[in-house]
Amino acid sequence: MADAGYLTIGKVVRRLQEQYPDLSISKVRYLEDEGLLTPSRTPGGYRLYSSRDIQRLETILYLQKTKFLPLSVIKDELDGRTTQEESTPEEMFGASRERASRISPELADEMHPIDRIPELLGVSLAIVRKMADCGLIRLVRSPAGRDLVRGQDLELIVTCAELTHFGIEPKNLRQYVAAANRETPMFEQALASISRHQGESEGERALRREMTLDRMLELTGSVRRSLIRRELLGDERSH
């Protein structure tokens, strides 16, 4: 097995110790003995941790630190998610729609503690943290020092979680953050040209601007989709 993309147990511990100072090699080995971690091994017996193994370890440590859950409960929770990750594309799409349907207008208008997201959406904390690290979402620190997620970001979290089933991780989506920053002035200029209709209230104008923005986003999304499909599938259809 090639070592590219894998880390030894020592490197994993060093990577996570800044966030979890009490982490040690012996603790990671204990989690292996308890069946929570199953890293690959070289022919010589050395442990090799994949990015998924490290994500699982991060989730275990976070749940221990913030929720004080026993390892047996954490294992059941993680094994349940693994079963979901191994579902067929049709099952995954159905699960994603079901998670999105939980996002009521009330939830979208509220702030949510980050440790409630797994319960609320069925999305792991590790994915949410990675999204924050990549700038896909922006966490808000409460007066009590808790990280909060904006309700308006819940749908985006569900979408990014579904993309991970196709091997597209939050770090692969940084380009969309940059693209959004570049394109925002274009939409701002277009919206600025919308004048108030005679007799229209400020609330009505705001609603019209929002509907106009949604339509522009739909159209530009269609342009992007057409261009990518042409690049990836155009040649296949021509043969």
pTM of the model: 0.57
pLDDT in tens, 21-48: 889 999 999 999 888 899 998 888 888 9
> Measured in whole angstroms, how far is the alpha carbon of residue 220 from the centre of its chain?
23
Helix axis angle, 9-16 relative to 25-33, nearest 10°? 110
Q: Does the structure show a pLDDT above 80 at 54? A: yes
Same domain for 94 and 32: no
Average pLDDT, the chain: 82
Number of domains in the chain: 3
Return the higher-pLDDT residue of 189 and 103: 189
Whether residue 136 lies inside any domain: the answer is: yes
Same domain for 143 and 213: no
Same domain for 152 and 100: yes
Same domain for 161 and 92: yes
Tell me what percent of the residues of the chain surpass a pLDDT of 90: 35
Residue 94's domain spans which residues? 87-166
Residue that terminates a domain, selected from 123, 150, 166: 166
Same domain for 93 and 30: no
Pairing of the two strands 147-150 and 40-41:
unpaired
Q: How far apart are CA 160 and CA 156, in angstroms?
A: 6
Amino acid at 32: E
Q: Tell me the CATH number at 61.
A: 1.10.1660.10
> Measured in whole angstroms, how far is the alpha carbon of residue 186 from the centre of its chain?
27
Q: Does the structure show a pLDDT above 80 at 58? A: yes
Same domain for 57 and 110: no
Amino acid at 33: D
- Cβ neighbors of 154 (< 8 A, separation 6 or more) are 103, 107, 108, 112, 120, 121
Whether residue 82 lies inside any domain: the answer is: no
pLDDT in tens, 70-88: 787 788 777 765 444 444 4
